[in-house]
Amino acid sequence: MSAIRTANVVGLGYIGLPTAAILAVNGIKVHGTDVNESVVEQVARGAVPFVEPDLGGFLSQAVGAGMLTASTAVQPADAYILAVPTPFHEDLSPDLGYVQAAAEAVAPVLEPGALVILESTSPPRTTEKVAEWIAAKRPDLVDADGNSSVLYAHCPERVLPGRIMTELVTNDRIVGGITAEAALKAKELYSAFCDGQILLTDATTAELAKLVENSYRDVNIAFANELSLIADELDINVWELIELANHHPRVNILQPGPGVGGHCIAVDPWFIVDAAPTLSRLIRTAREVNDAKPNWVLDKVADAVAGNEAPVIAALGLAFKPDIDDLRESPALQITAELADRYASGTVLAVEPHIDELPSKLANRRNVELATLADAARRADVVLLLVDHRQFRGTSPRALGIDTDKIVDTKGIWA
């Protein structure tokens, strides 16, 4: 196999851009492709279009050295990494439209021997679909026996937002090929920067492994969230309950919250349910428990503002997890939008220290303001703590002048 010297990363989002940057600073000449012209423009001049610690240094180094370029068009390369969204439809079935569009975008420039890697978290056998979509556009790349001259692999990301640049290097990596040759070729590419163990398997097993990892976490969070409902019913402090239970040497219960967000844990379990609907009963139930938690939070706010027809409600945090600006599938954002609709005569003060303007989901609601923590604490009739950002953890109701009976704390940092 010839060495990989160039790569084209399709999708310059939270995973694609860090991957492109780290490949580039490790000697692979990278071209990044994205349909968003604003993202392309920022990347091309070395600016990061979202918050991710340390990414700026990698990106500026790569762009400055001429090792990373960006445009809206795919460029010929030895390897292609597809890192595009994989959301789901309203009926919770997978939406592979972005993946198909990315596959069809690279098809015209492919040459025999090229490597196509799907990084997007995907339902089982999506990598095989990528090969089929490309073969439909480029039948010349498939011989009479149906064998492709292009290599296909799946390599799911396994990184934590806020630590991506570290975990890209240190975490073990799963690489699954449609063929053994494809897996080995993909391993060669990731070896350029990955110090963790690179584990080889087939593409479908690699796809399911990523879904299993996130479903495992979802089930455990659902247990904590269900405990919070039970504890509330019995008038017990759930945070104390979990702390006491976790003193058992073989018990490690996670912390409850307002729901589960992000593009992974809130989405991936549904891909397993879709693939095996009659067998994934526990996974489905966990998803239903976590998806229902925002309604329970809304009921708690309703109790707190009962009798006030125009309440001022402070919603602390919009991101799906602490200390980042990622709002994807965020229960905090969902709850804040619902509060604005339920209390149209009132005011919702959104406090999110990692953004400069309201997201589109809130910007069209006239009764929502982006506020500072101090302003929200001063004005609010009730304070709803949704995300345990460092800024919120580093203070207290007493320091902010908030009466404790005005607080609905879904994260337990002020409980």
Supply the residues annotated as catalytic: 210, 264
Phi-psi region of 316 (alpha: psi -120 to 50; beta: other; left: phi over 0): beta
Q: Is 209 exposed, middle or buried, given 0-12, 13-18 or 19+ CB atoms closer than 10 A?
A: middle
Q: Are 296 and 227 in contact (CB under 8 A)?
A: no
Residue 49 DSSP class? S
Per-state percent for the chain, helix, strand, coil, to nearest 5:
45, 15, 45
Strand ranges (E), 258-327: 312-316
Helices (H) and strands (E) in the chain, counts: 16, 13
Residues contacting residue 12 through CB under 8 Å, at least 6 positions apart: 20, 32, 33, 34, 36, 39, 40, 43, 49, 70
Task: Please name the residue that has the structure tokens 């690179």.
Answer: 198
The per-residue DSSP string of 370-415 comes to E--HHHHHHH-SEEEE----HHHHTS-HHHHT--GGGEEESSSS--
* Alpha carbon distance 241, 227 (integer Å): 9
What's the distance, Cα to Cα, between the start and end of the chain in Å?
59
198-202: strand order across its sheet: 68-71, 29-33, 6-10, 79-82, 115-118, 151-154, 173-177, 198-202
* Alpha carbon distance 28, 32 (integer Å): 12
Q: Is 111 exposed, middle or buried, given 0-12, 13-18 or 19+ CB atoms closer than 10 A?
A: exposed
